[in-house]
Amino acid sequence: MRILEKYISRSLIKTFFLIILIFTFIYILIDITTNLDEIIGQKVPLMIMARYYYFFVPTMLMQVTPIACLLACIFTYSQLNTHNEIVAMRSSGLNFWQITKPALLLSVLIAVCVFWANEKFVPGATIESKKIQTEYLTIKADQNKQQKEKIKNLTFYGMQNRLYFIDSFNPKNYELEGVTIIEHDENQNIKQKIAALKGLWTGIAWKFQECQITIFDESFKTPTVVKIYKEKLMDIKETPQDFLKQRVNVQMMNIKQLNQYIDRFSHSGATRALENLKVDLFQKFAYPFMNIVLVLVGLPFALLLRGRRGSTFACFGIALLIGFLYYVVNAVSLALGKGGAFPPFVAAFCAPGVFALGAFYLIEEKF
């Protein structure tokens, strides 16, 4: 590595870790302030709080790392530009890619670390922090409120070798919407498929409305009997309380676990639920690329940014604007993917792809 690259790399790394420390401090301070009434009211021990933030910080870091990486690169290169060091580099014959090589290498390294941490530490840390939060920091009124929120895209493996796919479950009135149930035999061959528009809990059993039951022959491929009911009481062992326990949080799964979960339901025929899970799976691959793409977009602005007065605020403003636009585009593309407008892969990689193309266009135009 050349002396110039070492000089830029040192500045980038120092700035990056300083920003991470500032973000961590602010994040924890805001969280403590928000939960102060619960902490005092429930007399949460100091060791429990330390344990909570020990598990909470990894999840928080994954959220702020892309912006911290972008800020570090913009601030470092804008300072170099302010002191005319970028002019000297370009006068010596260095092009855009040679000048920004340390920043791009740092972004790639951080992206690899984010992917690794998301796979190894974040799912387990999220589970532990949620347990502590529920047990010590969430008051009973809030717990009851959370339990009564409508659950969407409920998918689980129940009794009698049945796979359940439910578009939404309302815990307030125990109402199901968009129900698909696949029943298997001991060899995991499809015996029966149940589809219903709605399901209501009577207090004793589930009553399905606009229900269709399809029974398959011994080859498990051709339906032999199709029965249609306007209303029907179902032989389902699961109660509403069992349904509440089955909600799955993909943040608490790594790629391997989520992929196995999808494979488990791959032949069920519940296309919508599977597409949603695939969007979440591809998003786990796409998320680390955010570090690289944001740096690519931000570097041209950093090299063009000059002036001593207000340069820090300008860097912060540019980083916030780029990050905000990225989050908006990503959120919209994921929503379109889960709505069926985009294929899962396209939905997950739409934002990185669009911003990468925009970055390359900007670099070609300005450099």
Tell me the mean pLDDT in the region 50-77: 89
Tell me the mean pLDDT in the region 355-365: 88
Q: What pLDDT sits at residue 116?
A: 93
Decide if 293 contacts 353 (C-beta within 8 A). no
Tell me the mean pLDDT in the region 188-212: 87
CA gap 277, 208 in Å, rounded: 26
Whether the per-residue pLDDT at 175 is higher than 50: the answer is: yes
Q: What is the mean pLDDT of the chain?
A: 83
CA gap 25, 110 in Å, rounded: 20
Whether the per-residue pLDDT at 69 is higher than 60: the answer is: yes
Alpha helices in 133-270 (DSSP H): 140-147, 240-245, 255-264
Q: What pLDDT sits at residue 267?
A: 60
pLDDT in tens, 94-110: 888 888 899 999 999 99
| Residue 140 binned pLDDT confidence (cut-offs 50, 70, 90) | very low
pLDDT in tens, 153-164: 777 777 777 888
**Quick one: what percent of the chain has pLDDT higher than 70?**
88
Whether the per-residue pLDDT at 138 is higher than 70: the answer is: no
Q: What pLDDT sits at residue 148?
A: 57
Q: State which of 2-11, 34-43, 255-264 shows the largest mean pLDDT.
A: 2-11
> Dihedral angle at the C-alpha atoms of 149, 151, 157, 163, nearest 10 degrees?
140
Which residue would you say has higher pLDDT here, 242 or 197? 197
Q: What pLDDT sits at residue 163?
A: 80
Whether the per-residue pLDDT at 93 is higher than 80: the answer is: yes
Whether the per-residue pLDDT at 142 is higher than 50: the answer is: no
The answer for residues whose C-beta is within 8 angstroms of residue 195's C-beta and 6 or more apart is 179, 180, 181, 211, 212, 214
Which residue would you say has higher pLDDT here, 282 or 184? 282
Whether the per-residue pLDDT at 141 is higher than 50: the answer is: no
CA gap 312, 315 in Å, rounded: 5
Q: Please give the angle made by the CA atoms of 34, 29 and 50, to the nearest 5 degrees.
A: 95
> What does pTM read for this prediction?
0.74
pLDDT in tens, 224-253: 788 889 998 888 888 887 777 666 667 778
Decide if 278 contacts 142 (C-beta within 8 A). no
- The residues spanned by each domain of the chain are 3-133+282-366, 160-237
What secondary structure does DSSP assign to 176-193, as a single string?
Answer: EEEEEEEEE-TTS-EEEE
CA gap 177, 40 in Å, rounded: 41
The answer for residues whose C-beta is within 8 angstroms of residue 21's C-beta and 6 or more apart is none
Rg (CA), the chain: 26
pLDDT in tens, 127-137: 888 888 777 76
Lowest mean pLDDT among 13-17, 100-104, 171-175, 322-326: 171-175
Whether the per-residue pLDDT at 306 is higher than 70: the answer is: no
Whether the per-residue pLDDT at 7 is higher than 50: the answer is: yes
What is the side-by-side strand order in the sheet with 190-201?
151-158, 162-170, 175-184, 190-201, 206-216, 223-234
Q: What pLDDT sits at residue 105?
A: 93
Whether the per-residue pLDDT at 349 is higher than 90: the answer is: yes
